Chains A and B, each alone.
Chain A
Amino acid sequence: MKALFFLLPVGIVVLLLLLFWKGLYLNPAQVPSPLIGKPVPDFNLPGVGGTSASLKSADFEGHVSILNVWATWCIPCREEQPELVKLAQQHVVTLYGLNYKDDADSALQWLQTQGNPYERDGYDPKGQVGLNFGVYGVPETFVVDSHGIIRHKYIGPLTASLVNGQLIPLVHELEQGSK
């Protein structure tokens, strides 16, 4: 009986370890966004400049699209940039960018040197549109269906496995659904 009492601490530690183990595979980044299931907010932004075209709410109608929120000051964006360029080359989905709280010169330079994956790229230096999208960190990526309804949101940089394993299947699913 007394020995059981002294085993109690080990028991508690084991329980906590199991809890933390489980906790590691929960994703705190998967915050249920209140905007999921809602249409994209109303906006109309000029392009970053140069070759990139302007972006407005109506551009999300009629096809599945992906909106990537990025900035030149964001280091993880540098990580995900090659993935975005690869995704653009596959031509499976319309890829839009939202240049968030950035300045046009460095953004343009970035697009010229790192490659421009975006069909259209809205320039949002004050972050007002980002705010309406509920962006609270960069990078973030939204999947929008052909009716302009936000269906999914990823927080943090995209990786090859995320793009091929989740993003592209989701895009195909949404395209099937709209037919």
Chain B
Amino acid sequence: MIPELGQLALVLALCLTLAQIILGLVGAQRGDVSWMAAVRPAAVGQFIFTGLAFLLLVSCLLRSDFSVLYVAQNSNTELPWIYKVAAAWGAHEGSLLLWATILALWTVVVALFSRNLPLQFISRVLGVMGIISVGFLLFMLTTSDPFSRLLPPAQQGADLNPILQDPAMAGHPPMLYMGYVGLSVAFAFAVAALIGGKMDSTWARWARPWTIVAWLFLTLGITLGSWWSYYELGWGGWWFWDPVENASFMPWLVATALIHSLNVTEKRGMFKSWTALLAISAFSLSLLGTFLVRSGVLISVHAFATDPRRGVFVLALIAVVVGGAMTLYAWRAPKLVSEDGFTTLSRETFLLLNNLFLVVAAAAILLGTLYPLILDALNLGKISVGPPYFNSIFMPLMLPLLILVGIGPYLFWKHDTLKRLLGQFKITVWIVAAVSIVILVVLWERAGVTAVLGVIIAGWLLVSTIMGVVLRWRRRQKVSRGTWGMTLAHLGVGVLALGIAVSSSLGIEEDITLAPGQSTVVHGYRFAFDGTRNVQGPNYQAIEADIRITHNGQPVTVLHPQKRVYDGANSSATEADLDPGLFRDLYVAMGDPLGNGAWSMRLQYKPLIRFLWLGGLLMVFGGILAVSDRRRHAGVSVPKFADERQVVAKG
């Protein structure tokens, strides 16, 4: 009964969404206020029924109703309840439902929190978001029904993939989806503005907080994902340039570019068509990511459940949504004109460069991700593109960008002079030079050129960002929350870069065989293997090792890595254990048993690895701070670059 209710809820949500589209788009075109007034209630109803369907699926999972195919395939009775809930987005149908639910959530939040915006504009925005919703609802109702029955019911369900049974992994997809789907708001704002034909700077001001919120969820999702792969995938890596990771990274890069270009459009009335293009592209890349992950065109591990109709469906959705938006763009964008100009040395130039680097990086990743598919489609053979390509193309693009990030915020809008700019950097340059010499002396022997360069550039970014705040404080200048947010986010980038450069160049990794009673020393830390024992978990059995770690004879910690065998899935997983520290992690993962109680083990010393996720979190906090700036809230009017005039006057 409950599964049927779920299907019914989806059908009702579909009807309400259709109403939302027609009332919104047609109503706005005809200027009919009574039609437009009904758009918000339709959006609320859509959210209620989509959310209800999602809750019903969760309830089927919690009750282990194995007469539902999805439940039988992704959950079993022995699973802890939290992973029963997480199984709701563990596979294709459920993750689509989560997508649709989150989209409905964004829609309803936009509907409720934009009462100050013109009714015609917001009706168009909700209409456009409705088109996307309809796509996903139809997808579920036609080819990917999460509620289809399994008759006769299974006795016991299959297990959720063991490596997914982890708190960070359970929380990671919803975060990522919040980000992916949140970019649909910027998309809808851009499309609504293009339909209306009035692309002044107001839409950019309205769209910016939404974009920042979506971006911070995306940042959080990627950070969680990377943290998860670090301790769960078992060998201490934190980024693999895997197609699924790339699918989330490309929208992030473009969304980051978008936040910066929205700033120019909002404050200076320029880059209008470029900003609209970025807004459309960021969400298009989210859809592309969904297609790549869900259609199975790229990854063979998930090829079993691939039904070509599903791929065709997402493809049709992309054709309608992205193709439609880009056509609209080609038609309307040429008519947009900049309201002002700028000279070479100005904040605009630096923001443009920022956009250039980020977009080129995203394009390079897109090319690398799709290259195997392109070759295969042209019958040129099957190949895979790995980390060497991505690293060699990504690093050279990011290092100059980091240098620019250190300078950009100091510049005036429109026009600046080299003399004034250099004056700002007097102290910074000395500090960075002194630090660089120390770094060169300490690192030269042990690390490569790229790593040393990375550390110095990260140091430059950190020092110049902090000095920016110090200079403002010395001038008794008021610093807005938006500026604080930017400062925090830029610091986050610097901390992240420092973490990457140091951990990848100075980290030590040893694969070694240890028998009980043996020990080995890694970077001054003695790892002693005391033996193994059997452990019974809620739904797995494990062999657990005791690794005692001492440093100069002082006990540090005892680590307990495990080798698990899960009951339902009949598959094993390596559960690494680590001793976290702000400045270094000690990491142990078990390999294979080698007889007589001996095991192959991977021991690692990882300096500053925590800075990676710390940097990610700083960016997230920066985003939160920027959004909380009251001036950004829709409807609050801001005189054009008022705060910057102040800077000019006082600076």
Contacts and interface: CB of A to CB of B under 8 A. Distances in A.
A is bound by B: yes
Interface of A: 2-3, 6-7, 9-10, 13-14, 16-17, 19-26, 28-29, 31-32, 71, 73, 75-76, 101-102, 137, 155-157
Given A6-B334, A24-B297, A101-B570, A13 B322 contact: yes
Interface in B360-384: 370, 373-374, 376-377, 382
A71 B291 contact: no
B311 interface: yes
A173 to B, nearest CB: 24
B56 to A, nearest CB: 22
Q: Dominant SS at the A interface?
A: helix
B-side interface mostly: helix
A13 B315 CA distance: 11
B296 interface: yes
Nearest to A24: B311
B311 A156 contact: no
A6 B329 contact: yes
Interface residues of B, number: 44
B537 interface: no
Interface in B303-331: 303-306, 308, 311-312, 315, 318-319, 322-323, 326-327, 329-330
B304 A3 contact: no
A156 B158 contact: no
Nearest to B72: A75
Contact of A13 (B300, B303, B323, B374): B323
Given A3-B334, A28-B298, A101-B570, A155 B377 contact: no
Nearest to A12: B326
B12 interface: no
B376 A23 contact: yes
Given A19-B374, A73-B569, A73-B570, A24 B315 contact: yes
A3 B373 CA distance: 31
B595 to A, nearest CB: 16
Nearest to A100: B570
A21 B313 CA distance: 11
B295 interface: yes
State the 6 A-B residue pairs at the shortest beta-carbon distance, nearest first.
Answer: A23-B297, A22-B377, A24-B311, A10-B326, A29-B303, A28-B300
A128 B298 CA distance: 28
B315 A73 contact: no
Contacts of B377: 19, 22-23, 26
26 contacts: A3-B334, A7-B330, A9-B277, A9-B281, A13-B284, A13-B318, A13-B322, A13-B326, A17-B315, A19-B374, A20-B297, A20-B373, A22-B377, A23-B311, A24-B315, A25-B308, A26-B376, A28-B297, A29-B300, A29-B306, A71-B570, A73-B570, A75-B72, A137-B301, A156-B303, A156-B304
B300 A6 contact: no
Contacts of B374: 19
B330 A9 contact: yes
Interface string B60-78: 0000000000001100000
B323 A20 contact: no
B382 to A, nearest CB: 7
Interface string B326-340: 110110011000000
B158 A10 contact: no
B568 A24 contact: no
Interface-central residue, A3, A7, A24, by most chain B CB under 10 Å: A24
Given A10-B330, A21-B315, A22-B377, 5 more contacts: A7-B330, A17-B319, A19-B374, A20-B318, A73-B570
Nearest to A26: B376
B638 interface: no
Contacts of B333: 6
B165 interface: no
Given A10-B330, A137-B304, A24 B295 contact: yes
Contacts of B323: 10, 13-14, 17
Contact of A155 (B304, B568, B569): B304
A6 B376 contact: no
Given A10-B327, A14-B323, A73-B569, A155 B303 contact: yes
Contacts of A32: 382
A73 B568 contact: yes
A16 B370 CA distance: 9
Nearest to B331: A6
A19 B300 contact: no
Contacts of A155: 303-304
A111 to B, nearest CB: 16
A101 B312 CA distance: 35
A119 B82 CA distance: 44
A44 B220 CA distance: 52
Nearest to A32: B382
A20 B298 contact: no
Contacts of B315: 17, 20-21, 24
A19 B373 contact: yes
Nearest to A7: B330
B303 A28 contact: yes
A26 to B, nearest CB: 5
Given A6-B334, A13-B326, A19-B374, A24 B319 contact: no
A20 B291 contact: yes
B5 interface: no
Nearest to A28: B300
Given A13-B323, A23-B376, A28 B158 contact: no
A3 B332 CA distance: 10
A5 to B, nearest CB: 8
B429 interface: no
